[in-house]
Amino acid sequence: MTAIEVAGLTKSFGTVHAVRDLSFVVRRGAITGFLGPNGAGKTTTLRALLGLVAPTSGTATFAGRRYAEIQHPTHEIGVVLDTIRFHPGRRARDHLRVLALAADIRPSRVDEVLALVELTDAAHRRVGGFSLGMRQRLALAAALLGEPNLLVLDEPTNGLDPHGVAWLRGFMRSFVDVGGTVLVSSHQLAEIAQSVDDVVIVADGRSVLQSSITELGGPAELERTFLELTTAAPASQNGALR
Ligand SMILES: Nc1ncnc2c1ncn2[C@@H]1O[C@H](COP(=O)(O)OP(=O)(O)OP(=O)(O)O)[C@@H](O)[C@H]1O
Ligand SMILES: [Mg+2]
């Protein structure tokens, strides 16, 4: 069953072709790693999926529906994008309370999500004093408020220390173990390679590979394939210099 389908997605910003005719699917009940080097078009694709930029052409849908067509998106889809903004003077728990109130979510859910992301001890602290890793956890807590069964995470390991990265991997796995689906982008292959079921590799706005890790032959093979597919251009330039 398909949770997300991106079909022929193209997005240009003037002369910059951020995404070019990109197609892939995200299987329900699996973690799909959306991998590619800096500037490959990952964030642009996720923004198009979430209705934050209008595609130049093509579609990006959740089981056939555009994000804007979903009646209660916070209850279906949890989103963490790479541009997280918090009111610096607000305490973590209050930040979540405001969001819960706005989305008609029971107030007791706030402490549940704080516990899920292991921020209970920092719940009373002002967000302005949070480390980047703590902000990532808080953003994830916010995404979980509506008890969604699908998570779209853009570079969620940014700012996390090794313990935090390991924790996130475990978190994603337990999320899908109970029936959830995760689409997670990263340019840090090593950080998520061990924890994804499927991969979509993009380079220069184009899909260069969609596969399950099993088909690829395991995480080690993924790393080799990724480097091979995403460094093709510089390698040939080096060749030309010789
Ligand atoms: N609003 C915008 N206006 C102009 N160009 C943009 C805009 N957003 C993205 N781009 C360009 O589109 C290309 C893809 O950017 P995008 O942010 O999608 O890449 P990414 O894969 O998320 O990279 P990273 O790993 O660094 O987050 C880049 O060349 C970027 O400069
Ligand atoms: Mg990005």
Over residues 169-227, the pLDDT tens digits come to 999 999 999 999 999 999 887 777 888 999 999 999 999 899 999 998 888 888 888 88
Higher pLDDT, 85 or 35: 35
Is the C-beta atom of 15 inside 6 A of ligand 1? no
CA 26 to chain centre: 12
Q: Whose CA is nearest to atom 25 of ligand 1?
A: 38
CA–centroid distance, 228 to ligand 2, in Å, is: 21
CA–centroid distance, 84 to ligand 2, in Å, is: 12
**Residue 138, domain extent:** 2-241
Is the C-beta atom of 28 inside 6 A of ligand 1? no
Mutation test of ligand 1: which of 10, 43, 152, 207 has the most ligand atoms closer than 8 Å to its C-beta?
A: 43
Is the C-beta atom of 58 inside 6 A of ligand 1? no
Q: What band does 238 get if pLDDT is binned at 50, 70 and 90?
A: very low
| DSSP category for residue 67 | G
Given a cut of 60, whether residue 47 has pLDDT beyond it is: yes
- When computed from its CA atoms, the radius of gyration of the chain, rounded to whole angstroms, is 18
Maximum average pLDDT range among 21-25, 84-88, 191-195: 21-25
Token code pair at residue 32? 């799909």
Token code pair at residue 176? 């899908």
CATH number at residue 214: 3.40.50.300
> Do 37 and 44 touch, CB atoms closer than 8 A?
no
Task: Report the 10 Å Cβ neighbour count for 61.
Answer: 17
Token code pair at residue 7? 């079909």
Q: How many domains does the chain have?
A: 1
